[in-house]
Chains A and B, each alone.
Chain A
Amino acid sequence: MSKLIEVQDVVLRFYTYEGVVKALEGVNLYLKKGETLGVVGETGCGKTMTGLSILSLIPPPGRIEGGKVLFQTGDKTLDLLSQDDATLRNVRGKDISMIFQEPSSALDPVYTVGDQIAEALLLHRKKELCERVLAQIERERGKKGKRELEKKVYKKMLKNPDALSLKVFSKIPIIGRYRRLKKEVRKEVVNILREMEMADPERVVDMYPHELSGGMQQRIVIGIALACNPTVLIADEPTTSLDVTVQAQILDLIRRLKKKFGSSVVYITHDMGVIAELCDRVAVMYAGSICEIAEVKELFRNPLHPYTKALLESIPRPGKEFRSISGMVPNLVNPPLGCRFHPRCLFAKLICTEERPKMKEVNKEHFVACHLYSRGT
Chain B
Amino acid sequence: MGMVAFIIRRLLLVIPTLIGCTLLIFAVTQMINPYIRAQLYITSEKQLFHIDDIIEKYGLRDPFYVQYGRWMSEILKGNLGWSKVANQPVLTAMLRRFPATLELVLYSAPLTIILGIYLGVKSAVHKDTWIDHLTRSTAIIGWSLPSFWFAIILIAIFYVGLGWFAPHRLGTTAQMFVNSGNFTKYTGLNTIDGLLNGQLWITLDALRHLVLPVTVLVVIQIALIIRVMRSSMLEALNKGYIIAARAKGLKNIDVINKHARRNALIPVVTLSALLVAGMICGVVITETIFAINGIGRFAADAAISRGGAVDMPAILGFTLFTGLVFMITNLLVDIAYAYLDPRIRLE
Measured CB to CB, the residues of A under 8 A from B are 52, 55, 57, 59, 85, 88-94, 97-98, 100, 102, 105-110, 119-120, 123-124, 208, 210, 221, 224
Q: What residues of B have a CB within 8 angstroms of the CB of A93 in the complex?
A: 247-249
In the assembled complex, B252 has its CB within 8 A of some CB on chain A? yes
With both beta carbons as reference points, the residue of chain A lying nearest to B341 in the complex is identified as A110
Contact (A110, B240) CB under 8 Å given A91-B249, A119-B248, A210-B342: no
- A55 surroundings in chain B (CB, below 8 A): 247
Are B250 and A123 touching (Cβ within 8 A)? yes
Q: Known pairs A85-B252, A110-B341, A119-B245; list 18 more (Cβ under 8 Å).
A: A52-B243, A55-B247, A89-B250, A90-B249, A92-B246, A92-B249, A93-B247, A98-B244, A98-B247, A100-B244, A106-B241, A106-B244, A108-B262, A110-B342, A119-B250, A123-B250, A124-B249, A224-B244
List residues of chain B with CB under 8 Å of any chain A CB.
239-241, 243-252, 259, 262-263, 266, 340-343
Q: Judging by beta carbons under 8 Å apart, are B259 and A108 in contact?
A: yes
Q: Is the CB of B249 within 8 A of A94?
A: yes
Give me 28 A-to-B residue pairs in the complex whose CB atoms sit less than 8 angstroms apart, sorted by A's number: A57-B243, A57-B246, A88-B249, A91-B249, A93-B248, A93-B249, A94-B249, A97-B247, A98-B244, A100-B243, A105-B241, A106-B240, A106-B244, A107-B241, A108-B263, A109-B263, A109-B342, A110-B266, A110-B341, A110-B342, A119-B245, A119-B248, A119-B250, A208-B343, A210-B342, A210-B343, A221-B244, A224-B244
Given A109-B342, A210-B343, A123–B248 Cβ distance below 8 Å? yes
> Of all chain B residues, which has the CB nearest A104?
B240
Q: Within 8 Å CB of B342, what residues of A?
A: 109-110, 208, 210
Chain B residues with Cβ below 8 Å from A89 are: 249-251
Chain A contacts for B249, CB-based, 8 A: 88-94, 120, 123-124
Q: Chain A's nearest CB lies how many Å from the CB of B266?
A: 8
Enumerate chain A residues within 8 angstroms of B239, measured Cβ to Cβ. Answer: 105
- Choose among B243, B259, B262, B263 the residue that contacts A59 (Cβ–Cβ < 8 A): B243
Q: Which residue of A lies closest to B247 (CB)?
A: A98
Complex CA gap A108/B266 in Å reads 13
A107 contacts which of B244, B246, B247, B262 (Cβ < 8 Å)? B244
Chain A residues lying within 8 Å of B248, measured Cβ to Cβ, are 92-93, 119-120, 123, 224
Could you tell me the distance between the alpha carbons of A59 and B244 in the complex, rounded to whole angstroms?
12
Contacts of A102 in B (CB 8 A): 240
Task: Please give, as numbers and ranges, the residues of chain B lying within 8 Å of A107 by CB-CB distance.
Answer: 241, 244
B180 shortest CB reach to chain A, Å: 42
Residue of A nearest to B239 (CB): A105
Most chain A CB inside 10 Å of its own CB: which residue of B243, B247, B251, B341: B247
Residues of B within 8 A of A100 (CB): 240, 243-244
Q: How far is the CA of A343 from the CA of B259 in the complex (A)?
A: 45
How distant is the Cα of A108 from the Cα of B239 in the complex, in angstroms? Answer: 9
The one of B241, B246, B340 in contact with A108, judged by C-beta atoms closer than 8 angstroms, is B241
B247: chain A residues at CB < 8 Å are 55, 57, 92-93, 97-98
